[in-house]
Amino acid sequence: MSTDAIIITGLFKTQKETLTAIEKIQANGWEVTEVHSPIPSQDIARALDRKKSRVGWFTLTGGIIGFVSGFALAVFTATRWNLIVSGKPILSWIPFFVIAFECTILFAVLGNVLGILTQVGLPDPDYEKNYSAACSGELYGIEVASPPADVDSLKDLLHLTGSLNQLRKTK
């Protein structure tokens, strides 16, 4: 994408219209850089050819760390004070399992949150770029990049496909 490309954002009312518009835009050679939607949509993700989410790996890693840490914590603290308490062995796996389980969930969730934040890209101070407030409410916004020369034909195409409103922002 050239550095002086202009981003036009078209706003659409329903997901169906959005999908047909994306098809038409891509068929005409323009690149859809982003779509803002009020609700998630697998179809839009597929139309934009987005890769599968990697958040799960963060969660799994967190879970494994948690499982090991839970046992490690329990084993470490038990071995500091080698007294038999109520007849149970110093290293008893059955109660320690509860600690390990809770820590697994805790660290998996922390991993999950880290994954969400990093993969979703939050906090995002620049969110307002090419963004319309209506996209959080009820409209779908399609961002299309185009070299400055083709901007008018792009605007026409967007209008043709049912776009209600158009914003023009330089990249």
Partner 1 sequence: MDTALKKPSASLTKNVLFIPALIAGAGFACFIFFAATAHPEKAWLAYLTNFLFFTALSAGGLLFSTLMHFTKARWSHGLAAVAEAFAAFFPVSFVLFLLLFIGQGHVFPWMGQDLHGKGVWLNVPFLCIRDGIAFLILYFFGFAYLYNSLKIRLKNAGKETRLKHFLLGLFERNPHDPERIRRRMTVLAGWYMFAFALVFALTGFDLVMSMDPHWYSTLFGAYTFIKAIYAGFGAIILLAALVHLNPHTQFTLSSDRLRDMSTLFFGFSIVWGDFFYSQFVVIWYGNIPEETAYIIERTMTAPWRGLAWTVFIACFILPFIILLSRKIKESPWCMIIVSSCVLAGLWIEHFLLLGPCFLDPDPGHLPIGIRDLIITIGFLALLIFFLLFYFKEFPECLENTSEREVQWK
Partner 2 sequence: MSQLTFETINTTVLNTLTRPGKIYWGIIALLFAGVVLGASCWAYQIFMGVGVAGMNTPVHWGTYLINFVFWVGIAHSGTLISAILFLFRAGWRNPIARAAETMTVFAVCIAGLFPFIHLGRVWLVFYMLPIPNQRTLWPNFQSPLIFDVIAISTYLTVSSLFWYTGLIPDLAIIRDRSQGMRKKIFTILSLGWSGKTGQWLNYTRGYMLFAGLATPLVISVHSVVSWDFALSVIPGWHTTIFAPYFVAGAIHSGLAMVLTLSIPLRKIFKYEPLITMDVLESIAKTIVFTGIIVGFSYGTEVFISWYSQNIIEMETFRWRAFGHYAPEYWIMVICNTIIPLLFLIKRFRTRTIWLFVISIFVNIGMWFERFVIIAGSVAHDFLPNAWGHYRPTLIEGGIMLGAFCLFFFLFLLFVKHLPSVSMTEMKEMIHKTE
User: CB 94 → partner 1: shortest distance, Å?
Assistant: 5
Beta strands in 25-164 (DSSP E): 31-36, 140-146
Q: How many residues bind partner 2 (CB under 8 A)?
A: 62
Of 159, 126, 171, 163, the closest CA to residue 141 belongs to 163
Cα gap 146→28, rounded to integer Å: 11
Which region, judged by CB under 8 A, interacts with partner 1, from 77-85, 89-97, 110-118, 144-152?
Answer: 89-97
| 121 belongs to the binding site for partner 1 (CB under 8 A) | no
| 83 belongs to the binding site for partner 1 (CB under 8 A) | no
What residues between 104 and 133 interact with partner 2 by CB under 8 A?
Answer: 105-106, 108-110, 112-113, 115-116, 119-128, 131, 133
Of 168, 164, 142, 170, the closest CA to residue 48 belongs to 142
| 94 belongs to the binding site for partner 1 (CB under 8 A) | yes
Long-range contacts: 71-79, Cβ < 8 Å, 24+?
71/96, 71/99, 71/100, 73/99, 73/103, 74/99, 74/100
User: CB 101 → partner 2: shortest distance, Å?
Assistant: 6
- Residues near partner 1, by CB under 8 A: 86-88, 94-95, 97-98
